[in-house]
C-alpha cells in the first residue's frame, strides 16, 4: 500500500502502477462513442415514425420554451436563491490556486 497524494488514506499498490485507467484513453473513448452511435442508430431505425415525430415535437417545444421564455429571464430563472456570486476565475477554482 502506498499513500495517496491527496489524502492520508493508503491506496492499494495496483492503483498506483498506471497514471490513468485504460478506459480513459482516447482510443477507448473513440471506440465507445462509435459503438454508442451505432447502437442509437440501430434503435432509432426500429421505431415507428409517429413515435419519432412525437419525440421531435417534444424536443422542439422544449427548445422554444428555453429560448423564448427562460433564456431572456436568466437573471430570475435558473439561479440558486441566496447563492453568492463567484469572486475568482474558474481556472483558479479548478486548480485550487488563488493567483492575483
pLDDT of residue 9: 61
Model-level pTM?
0.46
Q: Give Cα separations from 46 to 26, 51, 78 (angstroms).
A: 31, 11, 37
pLDDT of residue 83: 75
- 30-85: per-residue pLDDT in tens? 777 788 888 889 999 999 999 999 999 999 999 999 999 988 888 777 777 777 77
Mean predicted confidence (pLDDT) in 25-32? 67
CA dihedral over 62, 37, 42, 35, signed as positive or negative: negative
Q: Where are the domains of the chain?
A: 48-77
Q: Which three cell numbers stand for residue 4?
A: 495517496
Cell 412525437 sits at which residue?
Answer: 54
For residue 92, pLDDT beyond 70: no
Cβ-in-10-Å burial (0-12, 13-18, 19+) of 89 comes to exposed
pLDDT of residue 59: 96
pLDDT of residue 21: 58
Amino acid at each position: 500500500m502506498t499513500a495517496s497524494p491527496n489524502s492520508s488514506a493508503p491506496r492499494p499498490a495496483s492503483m498506483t502502477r498506471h497514471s490513468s485507467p485504460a478506459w480513459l484513453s482516447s482510443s477507448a473513448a473513440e471506440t465507445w462513442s462509435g459503438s454508442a452511435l451505432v447502437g442509437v442508430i440501430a434503435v432509432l431505425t426500429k421505431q415507428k415514425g409517429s413515435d419519432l415525430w412525437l419525440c421531435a415535437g417534444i424536443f422542439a417545444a422544449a427548445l422554444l420554451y428555453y429560448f423564448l421564455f427562460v433564456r431572456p429571464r436568466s437573471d430570475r430563472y435558473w439561479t440558486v436563491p441566496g447563492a453568492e456570486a463567484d469572486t475568482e476565475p474558474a481556472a483558479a477554482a479548478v486548480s485550487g490556486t488563488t493567483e492575483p
